[in-house]
Amino acid sequence: MKVKLSPSLMCIDLLNIENEIKILNMKANEYHVDIIDWHYCKNMSLAPCFMEQISKITDIPMDAHLYVDNIDMDLIELCCQSGAKILTMPPEIIEKQVYRMKRYLDSQNVQFGVFINPAVSLEIIKPYAHIIDRLLIMSVDPGFAGQPFVEATLKKIAEAKQYREENHYHYSIAVDGCCNENYYKQLYEAGVDVFIVGTSGLFGKNTDTKKALDIAVSNIELATR
């Protein structure tokens, strides 16, 4: 595929995790792990200990997406120790310690990422865009699956791609939220490198996860060929 496929594990069948991961391992390029603390947004989800267990049955890189209101170095270190290879964090929370975090993540061979919510401008990351490895653009408000796609996301993705190219930066662009066949083509053409797929793009396609995965991959290949 021309883009990376990143299943969102908050949407997985938690009663059959090991079997689900073994199926997803066949075609997933990354795993997206939402860590939500009830404070940044009103939901609670996965945790570093979840990643630690998943790392026993996969070598596929995991992106720890931290919807956390009080991110400190202890949490960063725990995520790295638990197997995360990418950390995506809210810029408004980490702006006082961006360079410290980047230095530590580099020392652990973990990518430094930030995510931008739908109402937040790309301007917020420009002072340190040169050190970002992953820019995750939210296409729904944070915290809950099943929300409608925010159309303004497409313009923001195109802007992020243009800004990267003009300045010779290296960050990859991921999209999270209502990422499915209704938008794959538009997202790809706008500049997305990583599709984070949840219920609408993957797990809801069939009760058989192998068949659902095949459908998702087929839809993505069709939209990006």
The pLDDT value recorded for residue 133 is: 98
Q: What is the pLDDT of residue 24?
A: 98
How far is the CA of 176 from the CAs of 7, 18, 49, 198, in angstroms? 10, 24, 22, 9
Query: What are the two backbone dihedrals, phi and then psi, of residue 83, each rounded to the nearest 5 degrees?
Result: 115, 0
Residue positions annotated with a catalytic role: 34, 176
Look up residue 2 and give its two tokens. 């021309």
Question: What is the rounded CA–CA span in Å between residue 70 and residue 73?
Answer: 10
CA 185 to CA 37: how far, in whole Å?
A: 33
pLDDT of residue 42: 87
- pTM higher than 0.75 for the full model? yes
Locate the domains of the chain by residue range: 4-224
Q: Does CATH number 3.20.20.70 belong to domain 4-224?
A: yes
Measured in Å, how far apart are the chain's first and last C-alpha atoms?
Answer: 8
Count of CB atoms within 10 A of residue 162's CB?
12
pLDDT score at 135:
98
pLDDT string in tens for the chain (225-residue length): 899 999 999 999 999 999 999 999 999 999 999 999 998 888 899 999 999 999 999 999 999 999 999 999 999 999 999 999 999 999 999 999 999 999 999 999 999 999 999 999 999 999 999 999 999 999 998 866 667 899 999 999 999 999 999 999 999 999 999 999 999 999 999 999 999 999 999 999 999 999 999 999 999 999 999
pLDDT at 172 (0 to 100) = 98
State the pLDDT at residue 164: 98
**Cβ proximity of 180 and 204 under 8 Å:** no
Average pLDDT, the chain: 95
Residue 53 CB partners (closer than 8 Å, separation 6+) = 17
